[in-house]
Structure formats: structure tokens, C-alpha cells
């Protein structure tokens, strides 16, 4: 079976520790607004890697109106977790690592949607990745109501998200958030905020998940997975040792000083 571009596991085990002391990263002032398309042509590369143990990179920038965030994952294991379990981006204006306001992104795609994408791609892996990225149009707004609000790029005028896979299958995404959504006041562009990147933990055991119809829950893999080399088992299916084994990863928190023009 072909190797799945984002579901293969390259490592197993517990990762711990996610920060390099109290280092404060600097946001870059954007003289022109970046296009939110998931491509990082307008960003300074390489992105920052605040954790030496988790291969998630990020960079933050801002202008007078918006906060921009670029996130990148190049390890198959990390991509698998983010795409299968979803992730959250937290923003704390007090710089105290509080997870009260944030965005849920990426949001996992249902099996039926993946089947349609695979059918349209017709075995072309690059086409499948492009279609998958284009399908990631929804995000959750967290902390403004009792429950998360599902929002689409198609209806949101100010908040935007976008994903992309490059030619070597590195996954990246961009997020744009207006400051009026983050602060209850006009921000000072020399103050420090905290940004958290959290990969969601599985909410169910393997036995419970086996009944919800998801593509990734059959330990023996679904017919679609077996017949399509672009799809494969989730992290939970690798080296399966029992119904309650779960894959989790620690949160990454960084302090960012906003940039003034």
C-alpha cells in the first residue's frame, strides 16, 4: 500500500516540554496585507520553531487592523494528528497562556467528503492534496459564546483561514484575525500577547470511535483506504494495542510582542 502523505507515523511515544524559557518573539509589521491562501511566499522563512520537541513552526505579524499567523508542519506524524484530531489556536491578550479566545483550525473532514475528493482526484496525489486544502474553508470561533461558532470563509468578511500543501508535502496554513475581535480596546502595538497552538486530544476510545462511521476508525482500514494509496490509517490505528490507547501532544505557547509601524 502506498504511503499516505499525511497519515503515516514516523514516531510514537510521549513528547513533553514545549517552550524555550520565557523568550519573547517579535511580530513583524506588514506594510501590505498578505493574501490568505495558505502559501507562505509573503513570510520570512524559515518560520520560528518555539519547541525543540514538536516540529510545529509559526510566525506572527500584524498591521494596524489585523493579526496574521502562519503555521507550518512538515512531519507526517504531526500533520496526521492535526488533520485527524483538529487543532486550536489560542490568543491571550494578558500573555498568561489562558485558553479563553481562539479559533478551531483545521477542522477534520468527514469520510464522505474525503471519498468525494479522492474520486475527483482520480489517483493523482498532488491533485488530492490541492482539493483537500481547498476544502478546509470552515473554522470555529471559540470564546465568544457558550459554544464554539462554526464559521466559513465564504461568509466571514474579516476573519480568514487557508491551508496549502507544497511540492514536498509540507502543510502550512494562514489565519487573519481583526484586532477588534481580540481586544475590547484599541491595542498598544508594543504590548505582549500569548499565542497557543493546541492539537486536540481524542475525545473517544477506539471502541467508541468504531461506531461513528469515520474513515479513520476501522483498525483494519476501510475499503476506500485499502484501495486508495493517498489514504491510510490514523495515528490511533498504528501499532494498535487496545481500545483505549489515545494519541496526544502537548500544547505550544509563545509570547509575542506586537509590532508598531
pLDDT at 52: 76
pLDDT of the residue at 162 = 98
pLDDT of the chain, 261 residues: tens digit per residue: 443 333 333 323 333 334 444 789 999 999 999 999 999 999 999 999 988 778 899 999 999 999 999 999 988 889 989 999 999 999 999 999 999 999 999 999 998 999 999 999 999 999 999 999 999 999 999 999 999 999 999 999 999 999 999 999 999 999 999 999 999 888 888 999 999 999 998 865 433 444 333 333 333 333 333 333 344 445 554 443 333 344 567 789 999 999 998
Q: What is the DSSP string of the chain?
A: -PPPTTT--S--S-------TT-EEEPEE-SSPPP-SS--TTS-SSPB---SSS-EEEEEEE-SSEEEEEEEE-SHHHHHHHHHH-EEEEEETTSS---SSEEE-SPPPPHHHHHHHHHHHTT-HHHHHHHHHHH--EEEEESSSSSPEEEETTT-SS-EEEEEE-TT--EEEEEEEEHHHH-SSPPPTT-EEEEEEEEPPP-S-HHHHTTTT-TT--TT--HHHHH-TT----GGGTT---TT-------EEEEEEPPP-
User: ω into residue 45 within 30 of 0, thus cis?
Assistant: no
pLDDT the model gives residue 202? 80
Residue 231: per-residue pLDDT? 41
According to CATH, what is the number of the domain 24-109+122-200+250-257?
Answer: 2.60.40
pLDDT score at 235: 56
Do β-strands 56-62 and 28-29 pair in parallel, antiparallel, or remain unpaired? parallel
Domains of the chain, residue spans: 24-109+122-200+250-257
The per-residue pLDDT for 219 is 36
CB 49 within 8 A of CB 254: no
What was the pLDDT predicted at 248?
66
pLDDT of residue 201: 87
Amino acid at each position: 500500500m502506498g504511503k499516505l502523505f499525511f497519515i503515516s507515523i514516523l514516531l510514537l511515544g510521549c513528547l513533553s516540554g514545549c517552550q524555550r524559557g520565557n523568550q519573547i518573539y517579535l511580530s513583524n509589521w506588514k506594510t501590505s496585507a498578505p493574501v490568505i491562501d495558505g502559501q507562505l511566499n509573503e513570510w520570512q522563512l524559515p518560520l520560528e520553531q518555539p519547541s525543540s520537541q514538536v516540529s510545529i513552526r509559526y510566525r506572527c505579524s500584524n498591521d494596524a487592523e489585523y493579526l496574521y499567523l502562519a503555521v507550518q508542519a512538515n512531519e507526517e506524524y504531526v500533520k496526521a494528528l492535526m488533520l485527524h484530531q483538529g487543532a486550536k489556536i489560542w490568543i491571550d491578550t494578558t500573555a498568561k497562556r489562558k485558553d479563553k479566545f481562539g479559533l478551531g483550525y483545521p477542522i477534520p473532514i468527514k469520510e464522505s467528503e474525503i471519498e468525494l475528493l479522492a474520486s475527483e482526484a482520480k489517483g493523482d496525489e498532488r491533485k488530492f492534496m490541492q482539493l483537500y486544502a481547498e476544502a478546509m474553508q470552515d473554522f470555529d470561533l471559540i470564546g465568544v459564546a457558550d459554544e464554539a461558532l462554526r464559521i466559513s470563509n465564504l461568509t466571514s468578511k474579516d476573519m480568514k483561514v487557508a491551508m496549502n500543501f507544497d511540492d514536498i508535502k509540507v502543510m502550512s496554513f494562514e489565519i487573519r484575525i481583526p484586532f477588534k475581535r481580540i481586544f475590547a480596546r484599541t491595542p498598544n502595538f508594543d504590548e505582549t500577547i500569548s499565542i497557543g497552538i493546541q492539537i486536540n486530544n481524542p475525545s473517544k476510545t477506539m471502541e467508541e470511535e468504531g461506531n461513528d462511521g469515520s474513515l479513520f476508525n476501522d483498525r483494519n482500514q476501510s475499503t476506500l483506504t485499502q484501495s486508495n494509496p493517498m489514504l491510510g490509517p490514523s495515528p490511533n490505528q498504528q501499532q494498535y494495542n487496545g481500545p483505549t490507547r489515545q494519541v496526544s501532544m502537548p500544547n505550544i505557547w509563545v509570547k509575542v510582542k506586537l509590532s508598531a509601524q
